[in-house]
Structure 1
């Protein structure tokens, strides 16, 4: 069980009818799966539920959305859409930087604001927070909330939560995975989640352009600090040459961490705006969230991200400097 007392939120939900759900920009399976699962629970209680996110979900998440209406800022969303809500729940983030576009609407509404999250990085969003940074996924928190609300775990909701938890635990290989995580997974499978189908939908839908991009990106992997760090870059030219977009780099940083002896990794992705999105990964003994936070980003100890100003070469140099500090500090501590 999470360390959260859900009773105040259950009472809040019970006292209101209209609930708006939102998550972070470029929603992953944990964010989107948690949203859709919570929407399902709330509808069982007879609530009116809408979902509006900062951006459209990556195409790889479309199988989760299905026929459900998930709107995003920029597709005709107005202030009235936010004023409609009596409760506005933000899932899987506590950071303003993860709510571009949506933050302006969020600040202006008079709805009761709620955060459900498991990330360490946090801003003050003026909300009632239901956070557990020891939880491996927001999906685990929504599972517990659904139980607290006495809701039914349907096959569809089980699928949403399985996708959420499986992806944020690295398919159960990250240290955050616990015996309770697997108890939840067991219940989700019993309720109708199909692991093989979910995995296929998430990881076995690559296009030929995506594979060609992967080849270019992995061909540029470099190491530093005596092999402790592995990293690679992706340029706008790479996207043009392969017919891909920055969304197609999702997950590529994890390949860098498979290199023997590597303790940390990052991928720097040039955006059309010439900003640089950097994704960080590391093994258990390290903490890349501090590096991400130094650039205005955030996330988990082992998986974080940030957006830096370009050019690409300058951003990479800055990131390497932060890793140098991290490794040198560790050496001093060890001695």
Structure 2
């Protein structure tokens, strides 16, 4: 039995052995995190299990069309809460990505960790981690198939959204033949691809456009135009009325410039705290850079949160990016 098949079997046993589950995704959830969270909810209900779904904060508005999204609790709005001993985490590269929801776990918890990030540190009692998967939704698709469970429209819609978003609309290098086969099977269950793409890939807010205008004014190209840096300050967020969701995708504008290998977005999230998002084109392992600052992610997309002013953080990060470019022969 392959190690992945053994992990699928261990995950299936975990689901069968317990009755009441708390299912969690990572802070500031994206389409894969939200789709995977909801897919696990649908999967567990098929098994006649009790399930509670929770985020640290609000579910992004663009994903509220997904079946069951109204059932996701916002932990930040609940001063009092029960604790749970059986946990499933979805798309969390490390335990810290759970955020404040960790306070909902009992000390003696048993935890199923489902994830696809290469930087995952296997923090679960059971770990269903496949780092070559395009999305956590792909792994849950495998789990559904392994357990012989039916794929209804609701479950298929959640899984398809996870695949669509984490492959950048089936454009990124993680778009494998298997991903397309899985997407094809999901589409056979009355998934509406055009409507989903419109909601999660095409629609943007006015606040996003305002942030884009401001951030492009900060664009700086370095390392013979191989690195592009953009900045968003707390003032920008306040004056445009933007939230975290409105900053999504800004980092790609730097990385998409012809000739740029690494795009970086610096976003001030609090006094003395800067969130750094990385994207690379084909050569630089930005997960390694993010990990050096306590973050993580994928080879081509990663992030971290660093203490310091934007000037201080930018200096430290740019030095690491320049070194990585030199190692790849980009002088």
TM-score (norm 1): 0.92
Q: Structure 1 residue aligned with 2:171, among 166, 170, 173? A: 173
C-alpha distance in 2 between matches for 1:141 and 1:225:
38
User: Residues 186-220 of structure 1, C-alpha deviation per residue, up to 9 Å, x if partnerless?
Assistant: 01111111111001111333222321221221232
C-alpha distance in 1 between matches for 2:121 and 2:104:
17
1:220 aligns with 2:222: no
Q: 1:28, CA displacement in angstroms?
A: 0.8
Task: Report if aligned partners of 1:116, 1:130 keep a CA contact under 8 Å in 2.
Answer: yes
1:283 aligns with 2:278: no
C-alpha distance in 1 between matches for 2:244 and 2:93:
24
Report the more deviating stretch, 266-275 or 313-322: 266-275
Residue matched to 1:99: 98
Residue matched to 1:3: 4
TM-score (norm 2): 0.93
Residue matched to 2:151: 153
Task: Report if aligned partners of 1:117, 1:131 keep a CA contact under 8 Å in 2.
Answer: yes
Task: Report if aligned partners of 2:271, 2:309 keep a CA contact under 8 Å in 1.
Answer: no
1:245 aligns with 2:271: no
Secondary structure of the 2:188 match is helix
Report the more deviating stretch, 247-256 or 64-73: 64-73
Task: Report if aligned partners of 2:138, 2:159 keep a CA contact under 8 Å in 1.
Answer: yes
Task: Report if aligned partners of 2:31, 2:162 keep a CA contact under 8 Å in 1.
Answer: yes
Task: Report if aligned partners of 1:96, 1:125 keep a CA contact under 8 Å in 2.
Answer: yes
Q: Structure 2 residue aligned with 1:70, among 69, 72, 77? A: 72
Q: 1:95, CA displacement in angstroms?
A: 1.0
Residue matched to 1:195: 193
Measured on the aligned residues, the alpha-carbon RMSD in Å equals: 2.1
Residue matched to 1:24: 26
Q: Structure 2 residue aligned with 1:257, among 255, 258, 262? A: 255
C-alpha distance in 2 between matches for 1:207 and 1:176:
28
Secondary structure of the 1:99 match is helix
1:133 aligns with 2:127: no
C-alpha distance in 1 between matches for 2:50 and 2:301:
34
Gaps of 5+ in 2: none
User: Residues 221-253 of structure 1, C-alpha deviation per residue, up to 9 Å, x if partnerless?
Assistant: 211100111110011222233222333111111
Q: Structure 1 residue aligned with 2:329, among 317, 328, 331? A: 331
Secondary structure of the 1:111 match is strand
C-alpha distance in 2 between matches for 1:128 and 1:67:
26
C-alpha distance in 1 between matches for 2:5 and 2:281:
27
Task: Report if aligned partners of 1:138, 1:164 keep a CA contact under 8 Å in 2.
Answer: yes
C-alpha distance in 2 between matches for 1:200 and 1:96:
32
Structure 1 residues 132 and 77 mapped into 2: Cα distance closer, same or farther (>3 Å)? farther
C-alpha distance in 1 between matches for 2:33 and 2:150:
20
Residue matched to 2:294: 296
Secondary structure of the 2:71 match is coil
Secondary structure of the 1:42 match is helix
Gaps of 5+ in 1: none
Report the more deviating stretch, 57-66 or 310-319: 57-66
Q: 1:65, CA displacement in angstroms?
A: 5.7
Residue matched to 1:318: 316
Residue matched to 1:45: 47
C-alpha distance in 2 between matches for 1:325 and 1:199:
37
C-alpha distance in 2 between matches for 1:317 and 1:211:
27
Task: Report if aligned partners of 1:94, 1:115 keep a CA contact under 8 Å in 2.
Answer: no
Structure 1 residues 146 and 68 mapped into 2: Cα distance closer, same or farther (>3 Å)? farther
Task: Report if aligned partners of 1:175, 1:284 keep a CA contact under 8 Å in 2.
Answer: no
